[in-house]
């Protein structure tokens, strides 16, 4: 229904989405000012956080006092009127998701009349973890069509789209998420960063991402030596995954120069997956530790004199033992003869 609309003119109003709603505008902080969804009755619904794009000024992109969505106001207005006058339309009749299987029915109309000979296209929308997959559509007669699709076991958002002429409809999405969020360290502050010895503030910069779920800053907790850090000023960009905060010496408690500080990072997603990472950093140059090594003398390291001495000793010992054994044997024979 909406394509190419990145912003809208508004004055700080945003939307919270649920169900099958799909945003068509989102700023770099993840805030949404426009979305579309399919109602339970099968109709497509467009929602916006303002109505500037609907009046004459918005339709002509003339809101120059607030240029955040100036050109996009006109694009949205044009697309909406085009949708109203569209010849081909998809009207959802039912959809269901049970036992990992999608099933749905929908009507197709052409200029208000049921289209009984159409060839609609249905497919699983491609995501970062799933490939686009075609889905067979069955004609039930009298303009009614249906499809079934069994989802796999791979992580991902499973969303089915049906296209017919210029119209398309998105059916309720389901997602599988068995993988915990992933944390990596930025190039500017890698694991093992050494902060100056006289530092009182420490920038912590991480990259926190999840292939399927949307992570927010409330899903991330930091702790030092088992003590959770609270009341931190934190910034998190849901698009880039960049998490940033600044710690001070009060957050760290008792610390020693050159001794590693271990910051524990716990991340959770909405599917119950969790991960723990440890960020190690130093205040001042790390203290080097020398390992004591023992020198073990082996036989190959003996001097020539020592080797000759031990060789003579072993020969003497062997001859003495042989003499003793011979003498004992002789005594036993004499006792037997008596």
> Domain 182-283 has what CATH class?
mainly beta
Cα separation, 152 vs 150, in Å, equals 7
Q: How many CA atoms lie within 13 A of 2 on its CB side?
A: 25
Q: Which of 114, 116, 108 is nearest to 165 (CA)?
A: 108
Q: Which of 255, 203, 252, 244 is nearest to 220 (CA)?
A: 244
Strand partners, 184: 207
In tens, the pLDDT along 160-178 reads 889 988 787 877 667 788 8
DSSP code, position 82: H
Mind giving me the DSSP string for 229-251? Answer: P-S--EEE-TTT-EEEEEEEHHH
Residue 152 in this model has a pLDDT that exceeds 60: yes
Cα separation, 230 vs 302, in Å, equals 65
Residue 140 in this model has a pLDDT that exceeds 90: yes
Q: Which token pair is 330?
A: 């002789």
Cα(first)–Cα(last) distance of the chain, in Å? Answer: 124
Which range scores top for mean pLDDT: 40-44, 104-108, 110-114, 207-211?
104-108
In tens, the pLDDT along 293-328 reads 333 333 334 444 444 444 554 444 444 544 544 444
DSSP code, position 67: G
Q: E strands of 249-316, at which residues?
A: 261-268, 274-283
Global pTM exceeds 0.75? no
Q: What share of the chain is helix, strand, coil (3-state, %, to 5)?
A: 20, 35, 45
Domain 88-176: give its CATH superfamily: Immunoglobulins (2.60.40.10)
- Please answer whether residues 29 and 214 qualify as being in contact, where contact means their C-beta atoms are separated by less than 8 angstroms: no
Q: Which token pair is 25?
A: 């505008």
What average pLDDT does this structure show over 287-298?
Answer: 46
Q: Residue 48: how many CB atoms within 10 A of its CB?
A: 25
């Amino acid at each position: 229904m909406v394509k190419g609309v990145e912003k809208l003119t508004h004055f700080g109003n945003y939307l919270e989405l649920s169900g099958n709603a799909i945003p068509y505008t989102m700023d770099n902080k993840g805030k949404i000012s426009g979305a579309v969804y399919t109602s339970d009755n099968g109709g497509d619904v467009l929602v916006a956080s303002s109505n500037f794009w609907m009046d004459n000024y918005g339709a002509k992109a003339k809101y120059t006092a607030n240029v955040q969505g100036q050109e996009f106001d006109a694009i949205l207005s044009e697309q909406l009127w085009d949708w109203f006058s569209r010849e081909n339309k998809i009207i959802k009749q039912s959809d269901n998701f049970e036992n990992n299987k999608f099933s749905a029915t929908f009507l197709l109309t052409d200029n208000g009349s049921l289209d009984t000979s159409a060839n609609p296209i249905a497919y699983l929308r491609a995501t970062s973890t799933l490939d686009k997959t075609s889905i067979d559509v069955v004609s039930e007669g009298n303009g009614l069509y249906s499809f079934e699709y069994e989802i796999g076991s791979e992580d991902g958002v499973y969303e089915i789209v049906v296209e017919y002429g210029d119209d398309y409809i998105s059916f309720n999405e389901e997602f599988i998420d068995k993988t915990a969020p992933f944390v990596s360290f930025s190039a500017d502050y890698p694991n093992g960063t050494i902060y100056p010895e006289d530092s009182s503030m420490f920038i912590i910069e991480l990259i926190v991402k999840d292939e399927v779920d949307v992570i927010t800053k409330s899903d991330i907790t930091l702790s030092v030596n088992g003590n959770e850090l609270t009341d931190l000023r934190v910034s998190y960009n849901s698009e880039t995954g960049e998490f940033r905060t600044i710690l001070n010496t009060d957050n760290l408690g008792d610390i020693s120069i050159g001794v590693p500080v271990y910051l524990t990072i716990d991340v959770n997603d909405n599917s119950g997956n969790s991960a723990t990472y440890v960020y190690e950093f130093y205040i001042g140059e790390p203290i080097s530790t020398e390992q004591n090594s023992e020198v073990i003398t082996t036989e190959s390291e003996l001097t020539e004199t020592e080797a000759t001495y031990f060789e003579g000793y072993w020969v003497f010992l062997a001859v003495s033992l042989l003499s003793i054994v011979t003498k004992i044997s002789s005594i036993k024979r004499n006792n037997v003869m008596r």
